[in-house]
Structure 1
């Protein structure tokens, strides 16, 4: 038996339970991974945002035993990244309108069926039986795993498409209008952020759920709650006509987060969760990121002047996050020692939280980059005049800033030299944010060499090659 989703015209195998639908969606996402090539990339990119949206709808339909905000923040953060990717598609014009991926459409149909089924059988404000809390947690885990598998398939297809664009022979085989290489690479990096966020959520949950073990709800810590709330509200503020003061507040908060992440990374290294090499690599990448963020913050402070017109929710969540940071990493007016940090928090969970924060910070960096390119961005005349005066771009005879605007230090549209400077600084911060997020994760161990493999060079060359090549080691987070 099969029925048809009326909104999408997709035939879906009949399922009577939420569990069956979730497993069907997950199986379909795994099938996407078995068919990865450049030709599938445009259709998958078109459908990916709807996969994430359907997953978010199913997630929010599932009842919660605690505050909705803390529960929904994990999927909301991934959903916000998908919205940013959709905006990039609209602005870049690739992929053009066309048919979505059929496998992704089946996932969408099944996840929407889950949300419909849950809403018809359970009131949103109804109580949850104590013996059902494990099922609720498992359902959300299956949803996130389906989103992760589909996202990974999309990223791999985009990587194949990128390789085809750089090959003259393969490029000629691509159908339809092809995307610009820079645009495709930006899509890959943004989709990779969503993949990292979904993977971070599953680190504590997925193996047990896949085995069918009972999974009790993982209660978020103060740090995890503050990071999730900040990421969600900062992403929304940056897409809602932010002021330069808003941009500066986001950069300042991300800069504070990098300092705390470095402290937590040091404590994790002392606890043996990271090797000395991994801890050093993480702290070096964070130090470079801090330098790029500080350069951008200096410019934004100059352009905002004394303007303090912040979005209220942005200020509130920034203050909550800084409070959580101080509770963990501050000792009076200085940073706490590694021993003190390990006494205050579960260092493994704190490391996971800052790692996810660094991954989500890449999405915020991209949004800052988009805001810096916005032609409607308003800046203070004094700061714009100082930055434009250092530019080598030929300007109008009257200067980039009108004299009357300088006298009153008015808000003016950012002149071209200012937009150029912001574009360079935000791109640098984005690149360094990607490096810091990648450096925060452990390197997968290399497979052990088989016994007797330490032969001299000539003997080693004379050995017959193996019949099959060994599988390559698992890759770390993409950069």
Structure 2
């Protein structure tokens, strides 16, 4: 009998430590196509968050991103021998970026040496990861067949579009930097000569960088002209081969957010947390609508409005934490990776190539029955997360970029969101703004940050209550969905389950 028990325990131990039975939460399981879509998403976010103080960090990061994109481009199968006309734009862009890199290395004037942009660095790393994935499985892609060929063309278009958006973001930052310098000079009573080309704010020393980044932006745009929509129409969609993917992604996200918030966290990471929670709320509305269409979830007059209000609150809070984030502040890698997987897992269910899928299309996807309870559990947990984030807002030692906090303080007072002062008050010293220092939060900013945190707690608590009620009324999910486990099939004979560059997986 004892021998039988030992054998039983041995079998349990063997299965427990079988790598094929353990959910892999720390590695990137996105396809190449999902990585390229995420580069597009990150570039758009970068463009939304842009300001003049970030111009130097963005410019320093640009050449490295282009080099990573060129390496991925070269790794894609199906290149013709000799000079391929399709390669000319990326080759030209690489040469332009190399010139910028050489100039940056030899300059002591602005922008000089300093930190790089975490947003662009994240896109660069995504390109590097995608290139490694293509090199591993690219030889098995039948690129001469029509569907994989169109998919590869879509991949090239995605790469170039990410570069185009990023180049435009760098250009906007350079113009904003020039505008800030002009405004600072006028405030100090100094005269400054405006530029005669591009825009009046492309003044020295940013004018030369505007010229070079405009050339990069035009090169990328010339490739995309009359090509973008048509090329992406041939993009391959990754099938939902793992219905529990979203549940696993959200479970991992919950773990990583609490691990991160347990430490003294940079505002840039709290910005990522709050922005991702807003995305979860927005995607949950889409899933709930599709689930009601499919009969997976009862329709409710309370759930969607509660989710919408929670999403608005998270987005408003994210905007305020964004003011506190320094241009060169780094993101915690596990947190950023978990957020990227959440975005990919939601998009696999809610989108059809470049557009949001219809409720009927989403209702027919195999991952929906597991995704709905998973997203409702994430909404339910959001109220507790909002409370923890609010505790971070009470930290009296919070600081942020002087210019951004000055603008926020004056805007909040003028909008009536903060207690008005007696008389005119300069919330941030002009010398701190000119030197781009980090300063303590002005009283109006601290007040409205706490108010936004409390509003987020209220809205997420309401959404949590409604989501909990729906989970009780809904039929129970499978044990795999409840546990958030993710069983992965082992490919036959060790072959990777891929058909094209966009469905290749680690």
TM-score w.r.t. structure 2 length?
0.43
Larger relative contact order, structure 1 or 2 (CA cutoff 8 Å, min sep 6): 2
